[in-house]
Structure 1
Amino acid sequence: MSETPTPTIPAERPSPPPATQGKPKESKPASLWTDAWRDLRRRPIFIISAIIITVLVVMALWPSLFTSIDPMDARTCELATARQGPSASHPFGRDNLGCDLYARSIYGAKNSLLIGITTSLATALIGGLLGLIAGYFGGWTDTISSRFTEIFFAIPSILGALLISATFRGGALSSITLVIIALTVLGWPMAFRIMRAAVITAKSQDFVVAAKALGASSSRIMFRHLLPNALAPVIVIATINLGVFIAAEAALSFLGVGVTSPDISWGLMISDARNRFLDAPLPLFFPAVFLCVTVLAFIMLGDAVRDALDPKLR
């Protein structure tokens, strides 16, 4: 008897994957700024400095959220209570004129941050633009710009700002505007030198050579190709210099040529309290703490940004 062959069951073919609706999602190409932001979010030093700076900015913009006392109102100052110690209603005590020290420290953040941020932006803009032009064109443009910049490097910053502030003090400009101008005049050469060096390095790259071969104009090459690739070191130095400019304003105010009354700044508060420091240290101590924390926060932020933007330091 012959055996009946067992029928073979054909193997099931894998079903085709369901068609996706629309085009497949494409991942965005990584860039320097994307990688830097991803790296910054993992750095504790960046998180801590960003929180401190955020609190200081909110304090400068909306001081009434932190205190109900307006130190600009002379009626809140009582000379009979001058140099009084901390209390429930005045947690930092009172200064030499009987004004609330806590309220003045809060309101002093506005002018100190305003001077630091404005000066940092102005120096980065002026120095960065001149450095971009000098680095790209080279030749006599670079030579004249570099020699002119070296004149400002030869002037001590605080001494030069002291001279400018003392010369033009009492004119039409306010004390805050005068401090910003004095620090900007002496602060832009650093941004110039950094931008110039970055542009000289970047303009020999292949993408710049290709843009020139395609007939791109000089302005397009500078602002569309060179500037984005040379901007990172300028941002780093501008962030660090922000804290330096706040400290410089305090130094000028301490020397008597910075911010003047009725405006308030931490440097001016330190200057007013220095004569009675041994008798009443608190009027000098608290604004000095605010100043040190602010400068330290911006320097920490600048260090974190520098490490994130420099692939060699990762």
Structure 2
Amino acid sequence: MPETPPPPSSDPPQGPPGPPYADPSDPNATITPGDGGAMTLATSDAATLENGPLPGGTGSGKARSLWSDAWHDLRRNPVFLVSALVIVFLLLIAIWPGLIASGNPLSCDLARAQDGPAPGHPFGFDTQGCDVYTRTVHGARASITVGVCATAGAALLGSVLGGLAGFYGGWWDALLSRLADIFFGIPIILGGLVFLSVVPSGSVWPVVGFIVLLGWPQISRIARGAVVGARQHDYVQAARALGAGDARLLLRHIAPNAVAPVIVVATIALGTYIALEATLSFVGVGLRPPTVSWGIDISNASIQIRNAPHMLLWPAGALSVTVLAFIMLGDAVRDALDPKLR
């Protein structure tokens, strides 16, 4: 008579402790990785390929937006860091010139006219006996104010007009394009001589208005091209098919993806506008006394360059450093925001 096998024991099998493995047929089961490195790696790679990296993960596959990617590049660009530090310093002395210059730029002593550097006056004196150092520091306010306000006005006006032209097209696009061509044909210095001679106030705002009037067509063309390219994308067509209106398409879908080239052009143009203000002040149609400006000081010093070159050196040097800093900043931003240049 065959022997009956003993009943199975209810005690768990003895052996070395290890990770529990789930039933492969159970769709809700998870595999707890143990010593099997290959299984762990394969499971992690499959999950990453199928579902993307886990939230908050630090893997190399983590996607970044255009702006975060640009900021990642800018932080490692020495050109951007140096130019940004220079611009921050210039903005500080433009807002609070008393931080490094406690004197009055309009306080002059004719007895010290054209004198060279002296204790407490490191840059010397101009033809009126005014402290060149104090005037150079205080001159940053007018020049940077003109550059920043003119850039903001031209960027806003050009972006709105160019964006509408690129979005709607048709007769609106043709009208704005021809209007921009008219302004492109006006020589900027000749236009400044005519326009600012009609408005002879000599303050900051007429100069800002003139620069905005002749500066918006350039940004308008950039904005129009960016909007024309962005509106062809699939996500815009999908949003339109879902019932999104024109305002929502422009503000939520097209503008965030078309603003990068406008920022690049505006940043570079800011330095150009500061130099333009100095040029107009130099020829006598821009800012005028008692406004303190680098262009005015350069104009006054040009006739005495042989007798007192220090009068020209310091305001011209400050103007050159400021323009160069903004142009370098614009170049760095352009390289970061344009993937084709990487």
* TM > 0.5: yes
1:10 equivalent to 2:40? Answer no
Percent identity between the two aligned chains: 50
- 1:142-181 paired onto structure 2 within 5 Å: 142-170=173-201, 175-181=203-209
- Aligned match of 2:157: 126
Residue equivalent to 2:260: 232
Aligned partners of 1:211, 1:146: CA distance in 2, in Å?
Answer: 28
2:325 matched to 1:293? Answer: no
More displaced stretch, 35-44 vs 161-170: 161-170
> Matched residue of 1:149: which SS?
helix
- Which of 25, 31, 48 is matched with 2:65 structurally? 31
CA deviation digits over 1:55-76, x for unaligned, max 9? 101111111110121213xxx3
State the AA in 2 paired with 1:103. Answer: T
Tell me, yes or no, if the aligned pair for 2:158 and 2:218 is still in contact at 8 Å. yes
Match of 1:21 in 2: none
Query: Could you tell me how far apart the structure 1 residues matched to 2:55 and 2:141 are?
Result: 46
**Equivalent residue in structure 2 for 1:89, among 120, 125, 144:** 120
The answer (yes or no) to whether the contact 2:192–2:285 under 8 Å persists in 1 is no
CA apart distance, 1:200: 0.6
Q: Give the partner amino acid of 1:250.
A: A
The structure 1 residue matched to 2:87, chosen from 31, 47, 53, is: 53
Tell me how far 1:271 sits from its aligned partner. 0.9
Paired residues of 1:152 and 1:189 also in contact (CA < 8 A): yes
Q: AA paired with 1:132?
A: G
Alignment match of 2:249 (pick from 221, 224, 232): 221
Query: In 1, distance between residues paired with 2:118 and 2:99?
Result: 20
User: Which residue of 1 is the match for residue 37 of structure 2?
Assistant: none
Q: In structure 1, what is the Cα distance between the partners aligned to 2:110 and 2:19?
A: 91
**Partner residue of 2:148?**
117
Cα distance in 1 for partners of 2:258, 2:327 equals 21
CA contact (8 A) 2:146 2:208 kept: yes
Aligned residue for 2:231? 203
Shift of 1:9: 4.2
Structure 2 alignment gaps of length 5 or more:
1-12, 21-31, 34-53
Cα distance in 2 for residues equivalent to 1:10 and 1:121 = 75
Larger radius of gyration: 2
Choose which of 127, 139, 147 in structure 2 pairs with 1:108: 139
Deviations 1:168-221 (A, max 9, x none): 114xxx521111011110000000000000111111100110011011110110
Q: Return the TM-score normalized by structure 1.
A: 0.91
Give the Cα separation in 1 of the matches to 2:194 and 2:100.
37
Runs of at least 5 residues in structure 1 that lack an aligned partner in the other structure = 1-7, 18-23
Distance in 2, matches of 1:153 and 1:202, equals 25
Contact 2:140 2:294 in 1 (8 A): yes
Q: CA RMSD in A?
A: 1.5
| 1:68 partner amino acid | S
Larger RCO (CA within 8 A; separation ≥ 6): 1
Contact 2:66 2:337 in 1 (8 A): yes
